[in-house]
Amino acid sequence: MKTTMKQLQVFTSIARNGSLKMAAEERFITQPAASMSLSELEKQLGEKLFDRVGRQLELNSLGRTLLPKALDVLERVKEIEEIAQHVEADVTGTLKVSASSTIGNYLIPRVIGCFVRQHPASRLLLDVGNTEHVVKELLHFNVDMGLIEGFCEHPHIDVTPWFPDRMVIVASPDHPLAKIKAPTAEDIFRSQWILRERGSGTRDVFERALGGQAHRLSVFLELGHAEAIKQAVEAGLGISCMSVHVLKRSLREGATVEIPTPFWNLRRMFCLLVHKKKYQTRIFKEFARFACASPLQMPIHISQISGCTRYNGGADI
């Protein structure tokens, strides 16, 4: 008995959803049919692929080894089918991108929009969460590409610097700190803070920049969205540290003011993440190349991605 495409499709759907029922719904087949397909595949391999944990099915060691290989096969076959349907060789297919909040809400949507206009046969899906969420989605093969503003040192993920960002500490114009011409670190530590939640790349980078002094911060609020933090800062509820991309309009219109911090390095690098075992489809490579050369972007360094040329243009932040 040979392994079939259907078996691999059912297997990857179960791995993605952790449930036979949800996998069957995703594949538009009955639950017994999904169960039979999985049983046949496990019989061929001579071992189970999942452990049952409560009502969930979780990949075991063999299942985790098989998953990237099964996805690789399915994606290669899909590419062949798309090439056969589009002889003119336009970029086709679906690319799933997971981006952390600042990138996902303020930067990458414009790039995605321009790419899809140039390649109307393509489809891009954007998932937005914090850095921790992006890494998790990549590790579970739920997305093809990740874009983060924090740190990732996982051994299964390749990290490529994308382009630089600058974070700034901001307050409302009426905040006492805004009245001080050259505030000290002590002045800033004494202020009331509004920060992103734990697991956020912005928070992680900021706390590292403080050089082990993060415990001195008086955190009044923890909010899960940059817009909510910006509104709270504008209302005078506290100060925060955020990307200039979030604050451009607010700073320009005077709703917030930047607090100078020459004693801290608040620059960082946005990064592109790829699972080392993830097959890079044509649409992946084309989108990576497009993101490199896009005039909407600032300096981008993504040359480690296959087929991508280095772009050094753009203004400093």
Distance in angstroms (rounded) separating the CA atoms of residues 280 and 255? 44
Assigned token pair, 129:
């969460």
Residue 309: its pLDDT value, please?
Answer: 33
Task: Tell me where in the chain the CATH 1.10.10.10 domain(s) lie.
Answer: 5-81
Phi and psi torsions of 306, nearest 5°: -55, 125
Task: Tell me where in the chain the CATH 3.40.190.10 domain(s) lie.
Answer: 85-163+268-293, 165-267
Residue 293: its pLDDT value, please?
Answer: 67
Residue 85: its pLDDT value, please?
Answer: 62
Among 239, 245, 217, residue whose Cα is nearest residue 105: 245
Distance in angstroms (rounded) separating the CA atoms of residues 16 and 145? 16
Residue with tokens 């290989």: 69
Fold of 5-81: Arc Repressor Mutant, subunit A (1.10.10)
Assigned token pair, 80:
């062949």
Among 171, 125, 137, residue whose Cα is nearest residue 284: 125
Distance in angstroms (rounded) separating the CA atoms of residues 107 and 91? 22
Give the Å distances, CA to CA, from 140 to 67, 82, 191, 200: 9, 25, 40, 19
Count CB atoms within 10 A of the CB of residue 276: 11
Distance in angstroms (rounded) separating the CA atoms of residues 178 and 174? 7
Count CB atoms within 10 A of the CB of residue 198: 11
Q: Say what the pTM is.
A: 0.70
Q: C-alpha 146: how far from its chain's center?
A: 4
Q: What is the pLDDT of residues 120-162, one digit of tens each?
A: 989 999 999 999 999 999 999 999 999 998 889 899 999 988 8
Residue segments in the chain with a per-residue pLDDT below the cut of 70:
1, 82-89, 293-317
Phi and psi torsions of 112, nearest 5°: -60, -45
Q: Please tell me the CATH code under which domain 85-163+268-293 is placed.
A: 3.40.190.10
Residue 199: its pLDDT value, please?
Answer: 84
Among 65, 61, 74, 62, residue whose Cα is nearest residue 8: 74
Contact between 28 and 6 under an 8 Å Cβ cutoff? The reply is no
Distance in angstroms (rounded) separating the CA atoms of residues 225 and 222? 9
Residue 220 burial (C-beta neighbours within 10 Å; 0-12, 13-18, 19+): middle
Phi and psi torsions of 140, nearest 5°: -95, 5
Considering the four listed CATH numbers 1.10.10.410, 3.40.50.300, 3.40.190.10, 3.20.20.70, the one that applies to the domain covering 165-267 is 3.40.190.10
Helix (H) or strand (E) run with residue 273 in it:
strand 267-275
What length does the chain have?
A: 317
